[in-house]
Structure 1
């Protein structure tokens, strides 16, 4: 399928979406201003992580907000609560919804409440309900919110399997549609605004399907696919995908296995194609080189480094480069549900697991190799 056919399909889907978006519909009512948004069920664990930071047991360079963000990604179980409180030391307002609240997200201007078949969009200025998005059944609450003031975008599953809709939460209009995977989405994640001095100002969207073997990265504005990474050959559930916030050149992915994968974003796929620089080269040889380049471009890239989550407190060597993981023994998660969430925090990678542990791995440090485990904490004893 060539670019013109993809553009035609994208335009047709955009026209369908614009017909569906007839404006804001009714639902919940609320008033007041907002501080932080949270589900009651998560509050106790959030408090626990905050106490860890304030007590000095976790280095101060790992902020409270970063830990809470990790917790949110780890909490994939279905919520039974249909209420969300807006709090700032005390409860400011309470929103009630017709079905369970799966997730609560915010950007600079909007509060977004994700239900299985609807997304409610509120103004943070006065908690006015602005819009209700109808959504194809989304029991995991899959969505992503961009924090860039230039791109106030929401990403959520479209009507077709593997489809992502990019929606502008300021103008309340769809931006584009991305055909990301053939099966249903498991997770979508925007890159954070690039740090000072970074020359890469692209808005990127990373995606994974329920199969969990491939990670794809798109330009969220043009819908062009830029990168494709292979996590592994066996299906698994992806629980977190996060970009390195300073340069957006690395991606960290955690799943239902004990291995956390780090990928390096080099040149986009199309940029890796180079025409022959020899005018006298035989046509057959030139074509051969071209198709070899195409095959290399289409082949998913392997990981840059693997981080191995220790088993039962074992803190041996937990990393290796070039996609080869040293065997530390299986964590034996086959017969029990295991979840992990990972993110970059300054010069480290922080991993939180459902077994009650928090791990710190070194990243870009002259004294340690990338992915070397340097600290671990048990949340059970707190």
Structure 2
């Protein structure tokens, strides 16, 4: 049976799977099916920690409508509190912090459509007010105060994945290139860490912090799951085939792609244009020159200096086994969702082939993780 959606709950103790015929809930340790229903074509679902509250979105049978709005509800009364206009977001790139103290919602910054060049006839349906984002800016929305509070300039190209930690104090971002990953503080938007997944572009499918926010786990269209250490790293091993530095990039570093945060004026968020002035051109040129100089001179400088230019490599990694049972029916790469156990040094991976893996990782030495459990 094909899976439509897979997700972990907030503390990674349960796994929810949506299918064309209902949904299933599994506990992760031990891996046991806790609940199943065979009714409804489930497009998306989310659990509230380990409670019986599950939110479902059913797949339409005939009419498909692309909705470009985010609705904020009070789950105690199911009262609609706020409606947010967004750009088209077919991949549902959005993250909500489960913290009651730092309850933030992160999503791609809406980009307004340019005014039409001609006047449409009166009988023509109104067009979309927003277009798909062309950059990787993230809007931070306070779900308690119901107001936008910041914009983080995370990447130059559009986003492919974002994730908030459990405390609502860190945001991980990846662009559609998938080579550079960044971690920002929330809500102020200071860049804390920068990591390099690899040299070749790849779609990032899932990112997950551990419960203490000391590790970041990332899966992509490749068969490798990367684990990055948040904090000062010593010499990391680096996954096979990787090149470049194995050291950590210090907070505030801005190599190659600019990143940062903007103020909380909502009109400024939606109406801001890129700087096309002569000084803006000089700034972009100087950034390019600075990157090339760093690449050339970095080999002649002490390690502490080169760390300022080069993003960190993975601390540990996992190679997913080749699962051939559904290989012929599958089109495209295997998608996966990752999470880290809150009790043991283990990484849990669920693939679109319907396989649940558990890997052990060495928290002191890093390196390649070892497969300990597998269910299908």
Shorter-chain TM-score above 0.5:
yes
Match of 2:337 in 1: 341
Q: What are the ranges of 5 or more consecutive residues in structure 1 without an aligned counterpart?
A: 1-37, 69-78, 102-114, 194-201, 273-287, 315-330
Structure 1 residues 304 and 131: CA distance shift in structure 2, 3 A: same
1:221 aligns with 2:199: no
Structure 1 residues 244 and 332: CA distance shift in structure 2, 3 A: farther
Write the distance in 1 (CA, Å) between the matches of 2:23 and 2:58.
Answer: 22
Q: What are the ranges of 5 or more consecutive residues in structure 2 without an aligned counterpart?
A: 1-15, 112-132, 233-248, 254-297
1:163 aligned residue (128, 137, 150) = 137
Structure 1 residues 126 and 350: CA distance shift in structure 2, 3 A: same
Match of 1:144 in 2: 95
Given that residues 222 and 333 in structure 2 are in contact (C-alpha distance below 8 angstroms), is that contact kept between their aligned partners in structure 1? Answer: no
Q: Deviations over 1:119-154 (max 9, x none)?
A: 011111211111110111211110000111111100
Structure 1 residues 257 and 93: CA distance shift in structure 2, 3 A: closer
Structure 1 residues 362 and 370: CA distance shift in structure 2, 3 A: farther
Given that residues 116 and 140 in structure 1 are in contact (C-alpha distance below 8 angstroms), is that contact kept between their aligned partners in structure 2? Answer: no
Alignment of 1:244-323 (within 5 A): 244-246=210-212, 248-267=213-232, 269-270=250-251, 293=304, 295-312=306-323
1:46 aligned residue (16, 20, 24) = 24
SS of the residue 2:307 aligns to: helix
Write the distance in 2 (CA, Å) between the matches of 1:359 and 1:185.
Answer: 27
Write the distance in 1 (CA, Å) between the matches of 2:56 and 2:197.
Answer: 42
Given that residues 257 and 339 in structure 1 are in contact (C-alpha distance below 8 angstroms), is that contact kept between their aligned partners in structure 2? Answer: no
Shift of 1:375: 1.2
Match of 1:59 in 2: 29
Q: How many residues end up aligned between the 2 structures?
A: 266
Shift of 1:179: 0.2
Shift of 1:313: 7.7
SS of the residue 1:297 aligns to: coil
Q: Where is the strand percentage greater, Structure 1 or Structure 2?
A: 2
Given that residues 362 and 370 in structure 1 are in contact (C-alpha distance below 8 angstroms), is that contact kept between their aligned partners in structure 2? Answer: no
Given that residues 144 and 188 in structure 1 are in contact (C-alpha distance below 8 angstroms), is that contact kept between their aligned partners in structure 2? Answer: yes
Given that residues 116 and 141 in structure 1 are in contact (C-alpha distance below 8 angstroms), is that contact kept between their aligned partners in structure 2? Answer: no
Write the distance in 2 (CA, Å) between the matches of 1:126 and 1:364.
Answer: 45
SS of the residue 2:308 aligns to: helix
SS of the residue 1:147 aligns to: coil
TM-score between the two structures when normalised by the length of structure 2: 0.59
Shift of 1:80: 9.3
